[in-house]
Structure 1
Amino acid sequence: MERALTVLHVSLHHPTRDLDAFAKVPAQLQHDTSPLLVGRGPDAHLRLLLPHLSRRHLSLEPYREEGSALLTFCLKALSRKGCVWVNGLTLRFLEQVPLSVVNRVAFSGIQMVVRVEGGTSLEAFACCFHLSPSPLIHRPQAEETDEWESTSQEQPPPRPRL
């Protein structure tokens, strides 16, 4: 009886639409439970040929939580120069964050959405890659306000009398 693999559905977008950058991206990849490397180096499993990308920029790392029969994943930043944005958090070198079912990731101009579809196999997982012609993530810029200044000048409410 064959055990179902956990599948990572990975959508990728880069604003330059440089198809050469994605020339080494396979449509599908089956991987053991070692970390899946993303970068421009020859040892990267997901190889993206962009000059500002580190040879080993990040990794998707499968693990099994104690008492669980399912693979879960964390994303680890491996670049000493760049950072990785994951679901609103900024990761620096060797910082990691557990992945949820749907994850929004940005690094070196690349937008990536990783959707985790659980399976029962603990020996391997699969990745399906999709190149998106349109942006995947909308991150509005923080707006500057003087809200703090106006609230700090207000008088505190009167204390109730006992």
Structure 2
Amino acid sequence: MERPFTVLQVSLHHPRLDPATFANIQPQLQHDTSPLLVGRGRDAHLQLQLPHLSRQHLSLEPYLETGRTLLAFCLKALSRKGCVWVNGQTLRYLEQVPLSTINRISFSGVQMVVHIKGGTSLEAFVCCFHLSPSPLIYRLEAEETDEWEGIPQEQPPPASGEQPAGHLGFLHDSSQTQTWNSSLQPSPGGGTEIQLQGEPPDRALC
């Protein structure tokens, strides 16, 4: 019996809006339960072409909590260059933090929102990537820059609660909403393909 994958709906924004920054990103990526690397290196699964980004800047790491049957995720900072900001918390080199259902992340000018929708498969998960022309996070901290040490901290954006109306400005029509339930299906040409099915959620991310 096929088991649906956990889906990470990942929205990305960078103020420069340079298409080359996101040129190597696939719309959809199936990944096993090893860490998913984010950076500018060729070995990064989410590759961003930014000069201040480390080759391996951070990772999204799935794990199984004791007594639980669904994958959970944490985010780990892998760069010495600057900080990674996650849900109001600043991570230094090799620090990590567990992720909740909706997560606001910022690093090297990149704004990222990760929405986790759990599935029962423990062998792999699926990432759906979308680019936003509008900012995803407001009231950013000064410490998100590479020169963050010694800079007075501002109040971070709220870690929970409703976002402002029109918060996510996606490139597709926001009225076309869908929540994903993914599973492996045989493809006509042999091998397997991912099929995503579902019903409308509150906000389209994937």
TM-score, scaled relative to structure 2: 0.68
1:119 aligns with 2:119: yes
Structure 1's 101 and 43: CA in aligned 2 closer, same or farther, altered over 3 A?
Answer: same
Deviation (angstroms), 1:8: 0.3
Deviation (angstroms), 1:30: 0.1
What's the counterpart of residue 59 of structure 2?
A: 59
Query: Residues 127-161 of structure 1: CA distance to partner in whole angstroms, max 9, x if unpaired?
Result: 00000000000025638xxxxxxxxxxxxxxxxxx
Q: How does 1:30-45 map to 2 (within 5 A)?
A: 30-45=30-45
| Mapped partners of 1:73, 1:21: distance in 2 | 25
Deviation (angstroms), 1:48: 0.3
What's the counterpart of residue 139 of structure 2?
A: 139
Identity %: 74
| Mapped partners of 1:139, 1:122: distance in 2 | 36
Deviation (angstroms), 1:103: 0.2
What's the counterpart of residue 156 of structure 1?
A: none
| Mapped partners of 1:140, 1:81: distance in 2 | 19
Q: Which amino acid aligns with 2:127?
A: C
Q: Which amino acid aligns with 2:11?
A: S
| Mapped partners of 1:17, 1:27: distance in 2 | 17
Greater Rg, structure 1 or structure 2?
1
Q: How does 1:143-154 map to 2 (within 5 A)?
A: none
Q: SS at 1:20's partner residue?
A: helix
What's the counterpart of residue 158 of structure 2?
A: none
Q: How does 1:1-162 map to 2 (within 5 A)?
A: 1-139=1-139, 142=154
Runs of 4+ with deviation above 4 angstroms: none
Q: SS at 1:25's partner residue?
A: coil
| Mapped partners of 1:92, 1:79: distance in 2 | 8
Query: Residues 89-143 of structure 1: CA distance to partner in whole angstroms, max 9, x if unpaired?
Result: 0001000000000000000000000000000000000000000000000025638
Q: Can you give the 5+ residue segments of structure 1 that lack an aligned partner in the other structure?
A: 144-162
> When the two structures are aligned, how many residues end up with a matched partner?
143
| Mapped partners of 1:82, 1:54: distance in 2 | 9
Q: Can you give the 5+ residue segments of structure 2 that lack an aligned partner in the other structure?
A: 142-153, 156-206
Q: SS at 2:50's partner residue?
A: coil
What's the counterpart of residue 148 of structure 1?
A: none
Q: Which has the higher contact order (CA 8 A, sep 6+)?
A: 1
